[in-house]
Amino acid sequence: MKEHTILVVDDNRTNLQIIRDILEKDYNLMLAISGKAALKFMTKKTPDLILLDLMMPEMDGRETFAAIRMNPRHKNIPVIFLTANKDEDVEVECLNMGASDFITKPIVPEVLKRRISNTLELEDLHRDLHGRIRKKTQEIELLSLQAIAAIVHAVEARDIDTKGHSIRVAGYTRAIARQMGYSENIVEQFYQTALLHDVGKIGIPDSILKKKGRLMPEEYESIKEHTTIGANILSAISTISYLEDGARYHHERFDGSGYPRGLAGDEIPIIGRIIAVADVYDAFVSRRTYKDTMSNSSARKEMIAGSGTQFDPGILSVFIRLLDNGTIDEIRQSCEEEEERED
């Protein structure tokens, strides 16, 4: 079975025929008579390797190579230049451009086969190694996420008022993101991000975190640090690039009066704006030692009053729809039932 596809680009039809005769038994071939034709082929199929003639009219090999590399999907395809020019400076120039190899004409069949085989073997090894590294990184970071989630549960266990808060906020965040049209992959990443948004509270002293009365100004400044602490903890996990953004920015306000950076509007990462809505709603309707629970209708009014100041109006409108159609209540009830089973 022919596993690899090679795009051959040469303005000389005789050369294309010679190369086809040499390679067609071992590879799937695409033959292009010009650089423009090659680029058109590549919009339909991505080759595993490109044989590219250096000297062609209209669009020469250098220009074609540059155009290929402009497409992010094609920037890593190995390219072997073909040319009758045996000047060493030309070979060095091609390699410096990023070519994988350089073959002089007239084509020697065994040389062509060996150079292609070596290049593809090296590329396959590179992809395999990259895949293994990515898989191992994901495994390690999954363990990190699980460990951090355990820390979140430990944080919430320190304060009965906040038990279950993070998983409810994560559930609301997932529903909002899904309603906003994000892919399921992004939705689940947003869920993980929201689940860990308060992880920084692990660094806040119990005397402040569990205080029953109103916080003193200096105590309030201390508890605000949980956003930065959490972001620093999560910054080591690179596969979810915005994981730390949920921790850092969920207390920013749409009008710029929030913390820790006082960002406003679209300056606030989208995950921070979504979690901000979910987080405040859950605080409104949950019991605290310093306040009673708030009804959905009262929470709804308070949330709407914060549109454009505390909350992103677009995100808030999505949340209100979910609140009105019962989705938010369903999520809350499901989370509470899960907490009861765990108890």
pTM: 0.61
- Least Cα distance to 319 among 183, 182, 177, 191 occurs for 177
Q: Give the lowest-confidence range in 27-41, 83-97, 160-174, 316-330.
A: 83-97
- Least Cα distance to 10 among 79, 69, 63, 61 occurs for 61
Residue 143: pLDDT over 80: no
**Three-class SS string for 30-48?**
EEECCHHHHHHHHCCCCCC
The pLDDT tens digits for 199-214 are: 898 888 888 877 777 7
Q: Please check whether residue 299 is in contact with residue 281, taking contact to mean a CB–CB distance below 8 angstroms.
A: yes
Confidence of residue 46 (pLDDT cuts 50, 70, 90): very high
Residue 257: pLDDT over 80: yes
Residue 226: pLDDT over 80: yes
Q: Which residues contact 36 (CB under 8 A, 6 or more apart)?
A: 58, 59
Residue 121: pLDDT over 80: yes
The pLDDT tens digits for 284-312 are: 998 765 566 789 999 999 999 999 999 99
Residue 148: pLDDT over 80: no
Confidence of residue 30 (pLDDT cuts 50, 70, 90): very high
Predicted pLDDT at 138: 74
Residue 260: pLDDT over 60: yes
User: The dihedral of CA 328, 329, 334, 340: what is its sign?
Assistant: positive
Q: What is the mean pLDDT of residues 102-125?
A: 90
The helix (H) or strand (E) run that includes residue 8 is: strand 5-9
Which domains are present in the chain? 5-130 (3.40.50.2300), 158-342 (1.10.3210.10)
Confidence of residue 89 (pLDDT cuts 50, 70, 90): confident
Q: Please check whether residue 59 is in contact with residue 38, taking contact to mean a CB–CB distance below 8 angstroms.
A: no
Phi, psi of 104 (to 5 degrees): -90, 150
Predicted pLDDT at 109: 92
